[in-house]
Structure 1
Amino acid sequence: MADILYIVIPCFNEEEVLTETTKRLTEKMRKMMESGKIADSSRILYVDDGSTDSTWHLIDRLYMDNGLVTGIKLSRNKGHQNALLAGLFEAADHADMIVSMDSDLQDDIDVLDSFVDEYYNGSEIVYGVRKSRKKDSWFKRTTAVAFYKLMRAMGVEIVYNHADYRLMSKRAVDELKNYKEVNLFLRGIIPLIGFETSTVEYDRGERFAGKSKYPLKKMIYFAIDGITSTSVRPIRMITMFGLLCILFSIIYGIYVIIGHVAGGTVQGWTTSVLLICFFGGAQIMCTGIVGEYVGKIYLETKARPRFIIEEKLTDDSKNK
């Protein structure tokens, strides 16, 4: 008997794409059901992340018209990672396997069969990995490569060229529930779960409609959150930097003393000003990095809910 598949799709102001996304996913899932690959009770689960447009009304209408669509509405905008987590946890109550993807149709839905095949072959987590970034602009391609290299250099365990297009078994999602942190970076957390994993390569397409919700500024913040949420290597780098500064100061001090004894001391303010500016800036930067960690500790100790579900689409909704 085929297992139940839920496709979890976080949405924030996505009214322009949802109709087409639902159409394509419905066709794909119908074919998978007919071939016996997934159960007839499989669903598309939309998560409205506090949208300010008519996204939720559209999800509700799609639910009424399409037996494969269901959805949940968060009480306010909590960010992509929290919305995705809410969808994963909700889906785990009904499904055997859960695929997470974006709503903009850039993720190739034709590889869903490959995801499911890997799941039946024993993989608990299947990562969707981009084949290449040839379609990206030079700037986007360069910053993306820099992002993954930086994350790895900072000690974050991350799958290269993988975003949030992945399949997880119910068992893997249940284990994910044991990770209680408020500061979420799922790309760094999920590899920590373990279990058998595999990858599926795909070509990422163009966005069907609307605008990207991740401009450069937001991507920078995302990288900072990812590093400080999953790794302490920056703190250790600060310690090493401090030790190097002490070593440099000792060497420079010896040089000054020798120069003074030899009577060749040159009284110059340039070196002093440069050193003061350099170490002053370094101290401020280090204080900022430490502050990032202190701020995250502050948020973690509050233990506020990561999301609040305001409404769920259930069979009772159709009977109203």
Structure 2
Amino acid sequence: MNKQYLLDVVIPCYCEEETIPHTVPELINFLNTCIKSSEFGMQSFRLILVDDGSKDRTWSIIKDFTEKLPVKGIKLSRNYGHQSAMLAGLTIADADVVLTIDADLQDDISTIGEMLKAYQEGVDLALGVRSSRGNDSVIKKSTAIGYYKLMRAMGVNIIEDHADFRLMSRRSLDVLLAHQEVNLFLRGVIPSIGFPTKIIHYERQDREFGETKYTLRKMLGLAINGITSFSVVPLRFVAFTGAAFSFAAFVGVFWVIIVRVFFYGDVVPGWASIALPILFLGGVQLFSLGIVGEYIGKIYLEVKKRPRFVIEATTND
């Protein structure tokens, strides 16, 4: 017999006034179809739309939806970022099963049926993974591949081509919410929870409405946050680099002595080339300090224990 359960769907929204009027009805129609099917065991569902400090009509549209549809709206006091907005929705979710999906519906909603079946089979985490990156530009595709390789090389347990399209059981969500980090990298934390997990491949769709708000700056910030939240390899790299250049400098001392003793007449006093290694070593030092500073900055944020988000308003269910 199928398990009976309630479903919450968390959808972060940032300036999505063109998108959510299409997204919400499409999702609701699909989930209503799932309720009618006995194979899923879903009793009811609710969409949790999180307005991440939008500057357009997103919040007013969300409020309109809550008056006639199974939708709950959450308005954050400012733009906290995609991951924090998703976490805000997850803290509000109280259903047996929680699904997270982006507002643009580039994630194929038909895959939700497979995720629900996986839950019936005893899976706690059903992770949507893109089958290919055929629609991405060459630059985006190559940088994504390089990033995942770098993360794995640093020992981070991350699922390649898995973003934020996933299903979580109640117990896995409770474990996630027990994490108290300010800089919570969901794409790395969730796969590392350790409960029964299933990878579900799907074809990512083209965006039909609106424009992406995920700029290059935001992607780089997420990448840096992922690396520094899960790995100390960059700090070890700094230590090994310092040791390597110290050894090179030690060898250089002998080279200077040899040149001074045996080739003094052929050497121009005050080598201009000395400036080059000085500049190079200075650059390495600044780069190393930058890496160390990134970790110190994270310690600074964690120690202050400031809220990861502030909810300004909510709507009634």
Q: Quickly name the TM-score band, shorter chain normalised.
A: over 0.9
Deviation at 1:255, TM superposition (A): 2.6
- Within 5 Å, give how 1:205-224 maps onto structure 2: 205-224=205-224
1:255 aligned onto 2:255: yes
In structure 2, the residue matched to 1:266 is 267
Aligned match of 2:87: 85
Tell me the TM-score normalized by structure 1.
0.92
Aligned-partner residue type, residue 224 of structure 1: I
Q: Please give the TM-score of this superposition, normalised by the length of structure 2.
A: 0.93
Which stretch has the larger CA shift, 274-283 or 176-185?
176-185
Q: CA deviation at 1:33?
A: 0.2
For 1:204 and 1:51, how far apart are their aligned partners in 2?
A: 25
CA drift at 1:270: 4.1
- Partner of 2:157, secondary structure, is coil
Contact 1:5 1:38 in 2 (8 A): no
Question: Does residue 1:107 correspond to 2:107, yes or no?
Answer: yes
Cα distance in 2 for residues equivalent to 1:215 and 1:147: 16
Q: Please state whether the residue corresponding to 1:52 is helix, strand or coil.
A: coil
SS across alignment from 2:103: coil
Structure 1 residue 89: Cα displacement: 1.6
Find the residue that maps to 2:159 and give its secondary structure.
coil
Q: Secondary structure at the match of 2:43?
A: coil
Q: CA deviation at 1:295?
A: 1.2
Contact 2:10 2:89 (C-alpha < 8 Å) held by counterparts = yes
Q: How far apart, in 1, do the equivalents of 2:292 and 2:284 lie?
A: 12
**What SS does structure 1 have at the residue aligned with 2:72?**
strand
Cα-to-partner distance string for 1:265-302 (whole Å, 9 max, x where unaligned): 73462431110111000111111111111111111111
**Residues 6 and 44, structure 1, Cα contact 8 Å, conserved in 2:** yes
Match of 1:160 in 2: 160
Q: How does 1:59-98 map to 2 (within 5 A)?
A: 59-66=62-69, 68-91=70-93, 93=94, 95-98=95-98
Is this contact kept in 1: 2:99–2:167, CA < 8 A? yes
Cα distance in 2, alignment partners of residues 161 and 270 from structure 1? 49
Which residue of structure 2 aligns with residue 285 of structure 1?
287
Q: 2:68 and 2:248 mapped to 1: Cα distance?
A: 70
Q: In structure 1, which of residues 45, 57, 62 is the aligned counterpart of residue 60 of structure 2?
A: 57
Instruction: Map residues 1-320 of structure 1 onto 2, 5 A cutoff.
Output: 1-36=3-38, 37-66=40-69, 68-91=70-93, 93=94, 95-263=95-263, 266-267=267-268, 269-315=271-317
Contact 1:151 1:223 in 2 (8 A): no
Q: CA deviation at 1:205?
A: 0.8
Q: Report if the CA contact (8 A) 1:123-1:196 is conserved.
A: yes
Contact map agreement 1:133 1:141 (CA 8 A) in 2: yes
Does the CA contact (< 8 Å) of 1:8 and 1:44 recur in 2?
A: yes
Could you tell which deviates more after superposition, 218-227 or 147-156?
Answer: 147-156
Question: How far apart, CA to CA, are the structure 2 residues paired with 1:253 and 1:38?
Answer: 75
134-143 or 199-208, which moves further after superposition?
134-143
Residue matched to 1:318:
none
Distance 1:78 1:38 in 2: 35
Q: For residue 83 of structure 1, report the CA deviation from its aligned partner.
A: 0.7
Distance 2:130 2:272 in 1: 50
Q: Report the Cα offset of residue 168 of structure 1.
A: 1.1
Helix, strand or coil: the match of 1:109?
coil
User: Counterparts of 2:272 and 2:34 in 1: how far apart (Å)?
Assistant: 72
Q: Distance in 2 between matches of 1:218 and 1:147?
A: 15
Q: Please tell me whether the aligned partners of residues 71 and 313 of structure 1 are also in contact (alpha carbons under 8 angstroms).
A: yes
Deviation by residue 1:212-233 (Cα, 9 ceiling, x = unmatched): 1112222112211221222211
Give, in angstroms, the shift of residue 38 of structure 1. 4.2
Unaligned runs of 5+ in 2: none
